[in-house]
Amino acid sequence: MKVGISTLKALKDGRILIEVGSKEEIEKISTSITENCGKEVEAKVQELRNTRLLINNIPENITIENATKTIRELNSELQLAERDNVAKFIYIMKRNTRNLVTDVSSHTRKQIMNTRMKIGWVK
């Protein structure tokens, strides 16, 4: 196949982890595995998870239902799509400060991390 495998590990649960350098090599290995060993072995390509972003001290009027829409509307300069920022949950700290946890897509993470996010009247 002429693929440069950088890491080959046997995991505790019986699976094998293969790391390569590029997406083309991943596709070559996964198609070769499914063609040659399709009945016995399944090739699964791991996808990157979204980054979790913690927004501290959000106002009382922000809920899970309206948080994503509010962030998109108040931060229009970021040009976020609905799937780029998804509110997960709100939790309350000891001093009654409310914090919001959101999932941020990997392609907008740098853009969001380098700006001051506006939520309600708070930056």
Look at residue 68 in the predicted model and tell me its pLDDT.
83
Domain annotation covers residue 21: yes
Which domain range does residue 64 map to?
51-113
Domain annotation covers residue 121: no
Q: Is the distance from CB of 50 to CB of 30 less than 8 angstroms?
A: no
Residues contacting residue 122 through CB under 8 Å, at least 6 positions apart? 57, 58, 59
For residues 55 and 108, membership in a common domain is answered with: yes
Euclidean distance between CA atoms 21 and 67, whole angstroms:
38
Confidence of residue 76 (pLDDT cuts 50, 70, 90): confident
For the chain, what percent of residues have pLDDT higher than 90? 7
Q: Is the distance from CB of 75 to CB of 83 less than 8 angstroms?
A: no
To the question of pTM greater than 0.75 for the whole model, the response is no
Domain annotation covers residue 118: no
For residues 71 and 109, membership in a common domain is answered with: yes
**Interval 3-51: pLDDT, tens:** 888 888 999 998 888 888 888 888 888 888 888 887 888 888 887 777 8
Look at residue 103 in the predicted model and tell me its pLDDT.
87
For residues 22 and 76, membership in a common domain is answered with: no
To 10 degrees, the CA torsion angle through 21, 15, 105, 97? -130
For the chain, the domain total comes to 2
Domain annotation covers residue 44: no
